[in-house]
């Protein structure tokens, strides 16, 4: 394992009545006015918004509504939210939603405290925000693990860039399974695959020799695979859904990354695919991962073979190391199909126009932790294999 310093600032409330417990115990630390940020419609339609709003009012808070945060949240929406926070003198930001709502709020929290443009500040001046409007997160759709860190994936529509922007850590995060009970199966499966992707992209980073972080990761991956299968068979399997919610948090709370340099190349490719097509994140990752891993597993056959054996249960008997490695990638591809996730760009609803895929490839960030340092031409080849 590499050297590291570990500090974890997010207080997690997990289980029954977690929102009530968190609001009663945490909100007294902050001022009266709360920005309650939500997505498009579901929080109000399923009653979650009303329940949380009632808890806030009981705690003596005044609510400033900020609805309409879309999947693949935009930089324009960040600016809109920051302006509202400043104008209304908001004391606390509460994100009620999935990863998109939470990510948007992280950057709103930072942008509201500075007159500088956060995008220019981070990407041109290489400076990062140090002051934030305090925020919390009540998760209504798990998978991204957004509540566990201060990274936010934001789409700058004018620049055609979807990438990570650093914002605020949540002071607290609520993981209450009842608030996610109405999610349809397809959304649960898509989110859970994002969790699996987070695990894999950490696992195949460096170092790739045996270490405690990766051994914990192997257990998390097996747990996700098992519980995705359980949910696919029965969407009302409460215990399986609870496990997936905590697995999502584990994949992004830093524990699996201790001593690791991560490889988030699949995410970088999918981010740019999303910037150009607004595709579903988890489904985009499902299409990209097998093609990417077939491309790079010859550069780390030991690790991919170990992945095949300990995660997918492939014995490797009578097989070479390279054959075992590829069998693990095929097991991943078979699992994606088993879960009803798309396996091609066309199934994802994206016409595989070479000009589009060239633009996606050329704008994708190259990740240093990857076991093979890809070129933009190689990313284009991988995308063409996904068509």
User: Which fold, 11-180?
Assistant: Rossmann fold (3.40.50)
The one-character DSSP state at 162 is E
The angle subtended at Cα 62 by Cα 56 and Cα 63, nearest 5°, is 75
* Residue 45 confidence (pLDDT): 79
Biggest CA–CA distance in the chain, Å, is 68
Phi and psi at residue 153, to the nearest 5°: -95, 115
* Residue 4 confidence (pLDDT): 67
Q: What ranges do the domains of the chain cover?
A: 11-180, 185-385
* Positive or negative: CA dihedral 307, 308, 311, 313: negative
Distance CA 364, CA 264 (A): 11
Q: Give pLDDT < 50 ranges for the chain.
A: none
Residues 6+ apart with CB under 8 A from 159: none
- Residue 207, preceding bond cis, omega within 30 degrees? yes
Pick the CATH number of 185-385 from 1.20.1290.10, 1.20.1090.10, 3.90.700.10, 1.10.10.410: 1.20.1090.10
Across the strands, what pairs with 221? none
Contact 127, 121 (CB under 8 A): yes
Per-residue pLDDT reduced to its tens digit, 236-256: 999 999 999 999 999 999 999
Around 337, how many Cα atoms within 13 Å sit in the side-chain half-sphere?
9
Contact 52, 138 (CB under 8 A): yes
């Amino acid at each position: 394992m590499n050297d590291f310093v570990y500090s974890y600032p997010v207080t997690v409330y997990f289980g029954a009545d977690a929102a009530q417990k968190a609001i009663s115990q945490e909100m007294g630390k902050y001022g009266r006015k709360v920005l309650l940020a939500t997505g498009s419609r579901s929080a109000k339609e399923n009653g979650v918004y009303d329940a949380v709003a009632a808890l806030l009012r009981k705690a003596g808070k005044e609510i400033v509504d900020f609805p309409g945060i879309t999947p693949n949240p935009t930089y324009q929406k960040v600016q809109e939210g920051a302006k509202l926070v400043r104008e209304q003198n908001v004391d606390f930001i509460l994100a009620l939603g999935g990863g998109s709502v939470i990510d948007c709020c992280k950057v709103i929290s930072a942008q509201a405290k500075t007159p500088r443009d956060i995008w220019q500040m981070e990407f041109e001046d290489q400076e990062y925000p140090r002051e934030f409007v305090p925020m919390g997160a009540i998760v209504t759709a798990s998978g991204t693990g957004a509540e566990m860190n201060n990274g936010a994936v934001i789409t700058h529509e004018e620049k055609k860039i979807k990438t990570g922007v650093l914002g605020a850590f949540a002071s607290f995060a609520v993981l209450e399974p009842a608030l996610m009970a109405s999610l349809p199966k397809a959304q649960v499966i898509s989110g859970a695959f994002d969790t699996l992707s987070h695990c894999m992209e950490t696992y195949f980073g460096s170092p790739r020799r045996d270490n405690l972080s990766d051994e914990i990761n192997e257990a998390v991956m097996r747990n996700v695979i098992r519980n995705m299968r359980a949910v696919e068979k029965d969407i009302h399997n409460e215990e399986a859904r609870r496990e997936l919610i905590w697995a999502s948090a584990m994949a992004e709370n830093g524990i699996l990354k201790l001593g690791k340099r991560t490889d988030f190349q699949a995410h970088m490719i999918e981010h740019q695919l999303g910037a150009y097509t607004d595709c579903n994140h988890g489904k985009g990752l499902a299409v990209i991962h097998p093609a990417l891993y077939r491309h790079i597993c010859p550069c780390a056959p030991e690790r991919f073979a170990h992945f095949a054996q300990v995660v997918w249960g492939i014995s490797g008997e009578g097989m070479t190391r390279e054959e075992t490695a590829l069998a693990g990638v095929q097991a991943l591809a078979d699992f994606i199909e088993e879960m009803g996730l798309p396996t091609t760009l066309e199934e994802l609803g994206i016409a595989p126009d070479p000009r589009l895929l060239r633009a996606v490839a050329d704008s994708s960030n190259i990740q240093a932790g990857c076991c093979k340092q890809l070129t933009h031409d190689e990313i284009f080849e991988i995308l063409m294999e996904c068509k």
